[in-house]
Amino acid sequence: MGILTIFQKRKKEIESFIIATGRDLGCFRLNEKREAIFAVGSLFDLVQMTKKEYKGWKELKASRTINNWAENCINNNVVNDAKEFEQIKLKFKNHRLFEEWDANSILQMKEHNVSKNGVFLNYSSKEDKWIISSFFPKRSISLNQEQYEVWRAAVGTSTIADVVKIVANTSNNDEKKAIEKVIRIAPILVERDLWNIEFFGKAEKYYANEKVIADTIHTEFFDSNSLSANTNIVSLGDEIGYESTSIREKDNMLIMVANKVVTLNSKEHAAWVAFKKGVLTIQDSKELFSVELEEIISVVKMLMDKRVVMKWPESLGVNKQFVLSVSPKGIGIGTKNNKEYKILDVTNGESKFLPYEAYMVWAFSHGYVPIAIIIEKFKMNLNYSQEDASYRVTQWVRLLLNQGVVNLTIIPDKPLVVGWKNQR
């Protein structure tokens, strides 16, 4: 009996929809035989894979059911028989690299963080399509309205269950219709690398309490009274979209930080983008925008009061109560020499070549994990002292932010409160 016949008899599996999870880290290392070992990340579980297993995960991303996945693996010569497929399937199941879901279970998926890749470029009224710049700018991806609504709902530290709520709210759908829409469209976004879904456990154990958040935002990093030309600034948060319901009226931009929606005017948004993309100091932004120092300091103060920018030190220290986190973006291509790693960013699809240390910070990053824990992981894996690890992670995070492969955010103290409608 052939493998396809075997799987066709499994009615339950045929009827169950699946969604691939995990973040593509690319070629993680070369072993002693110079063979590529790949990795897929999900929180701190960096699942190392052979080339065959990695191809199996790629086929999983393009599949909608277990049976469909098995057929794809056979047809594309990933596995030779049912036993080989079952071995891959069992490994992936043990590492939570796929989930079976349906209309009844999706709202229980509060243990899967969703982040979006790509940047909204333009709307084509002729085709009624939303154009998303992703990893391959010459082949920008066009999304219809439903796909666009689901794609942009993965903002901040959203879970799958949060995305359903956002889609229902922003699209004026009832819950049942929103669930159907997410189940239908999410696999398309995962297959196109426009979404990363990671299993991380129950969100409640990661939420910061209000006092810890208050302690964070009242540190020297958010003190707007001591700004000078040489102050280093970085941006926090993730873009939602423009506030206006009219696509042509690109006025106020909405930013999500700590599961709260913040509105920025055009001047504030321009400064926020600049500090995110490589402008290091207030003096640098003054020269970029050709304005007086007092004017740009005034803008930075407004942004700091809204908690969407902060001062960036040489070293963040080791304060485990500090609830700043790093949310990774992009996909990994990996290494050819165990020294330099290639990542595709989410802004214009450029290849970013990073040293091993920066790549490891990116691999360990997660929107619900405080930077202090990343520092601890970095220290353990690279054998640095606590002080050196803190300094190096701080420097690498700034590089990753400027390269467009992470966002900085504040870990929220409660689930997402849906608070916007109809943004483009």
Are residues 303 and 403 both part of a single domain? yes
Report the distance separating Cα 240 and Cα 346, nearest Å.
15
Are residues 422 and 302 both part of a single domain? yes
pLDDT for the residue 362: 93
- Final residue before a domain boundary, out of 50, 75, 101: 101
Determine the 3-state secondary structure of 116 from DSSP: strand
- Final residue before a domain boundary, out of 101, 130, 157: 101
Are residues 196 and 171 both part of a single domain? yes
Are residues 149 and 232 both part of a single domain? no
Assigned token pair, 147: 């796909």
pLDDT for the residue 422: 47
Are residues 67 and 115 both part of a single domain? no
- Final residue before a domain boundary, out of 77, 101, 125: 101
In a domain, 95, yes or no: yes
In a domain, 356, yes or no: no
In a domain, 269, yes or no: yes
Are residues 83 and 197 both part of a single domain? no
Are residues 215 and 320 both part of a single domain? yes
Within 10 angstroms of residue 348's Cβ, the number of other Cβ atoms is 14
pLDDT for the residue 150: 92
In a domain, 299, yes or no: yes
In a domain, 341, yes or no: no
CB-facing half-sphere around the CA of 154: CA atoms within 13 A: 27
In a domain, 231, yes or no: yes
Per-residue model confidence as pLDDT tens digits over 345-402: 655 556 788 999 999 999 989 887 888 888 988 999 999 999 999 999 999 999 998 8
pLDDT for the residue 245: 43
The total of structural domains in the chain comes to: 3
Are residues 16 and 126 both part of a single domain? no
CATH code, domain with 303: 3.90.930
pLDDT for the residue 11: 46
Are residues 289 and 239 both part of a single domain? yes
Query: What angle (nearest 5°) sits at the alpha carbon of residue 41, between those of residues 38 and 44?
Result: 125
pLDDT for the residue 424: 46
Are residues 213 and 198 both part of a single domain? no
Within 10 angstroms of residue 94's Cβ, the number of other Cβ atoms is 10
- Whole-number Cα distances in Å, 384 to 42, 91, 136, 375: 24, 32, 37, 10
Per-residue pLDDT of the chain (424 residues; tens, 9 = 90+): 455 554 555 544 445 789 999 999 999 999 999 999 999 998 778 899 999 999 999 999 999 999 999 999 999 999 999 999 999 999 999 999 998 887 777 766 777 888 888 777 677 777 777 777 655 555 567 888 899 889 988 887 788 888 998 898 887 778 888 988 998 999 999 998 889 998 877 655 555 565 666 666 667 788 888 899 999 999 999 888 776 544 444 568 889 887 788 999 989 999 999 998 888 899 999 999 999 999 999 999 999 999 999 999 888 875 555 678 898 888 888 999 989 998 876 555 567 889 999 999 999 898 878 888 889 889 999 999 999 999 999 999 999 988 888 999 887 766 565 555 544 4
pLDDT for the residue 246: 44
| Parent domain of 195 | 110-204
Are residues 29 and 83 both part of a single domain? yes
Per-residue model confidence as pLDDT tens digits over 67-79: 999 999 999 999 9
In a domain, 358, yes or no: no
Are residues 128 and 65 both part of a single domain? no
Which value, to the nearest 10 degrees, does the dihedral of the CA atoms of residues 196, 311, 320, 370 take?
0
In a domain, 377, yes or no: no
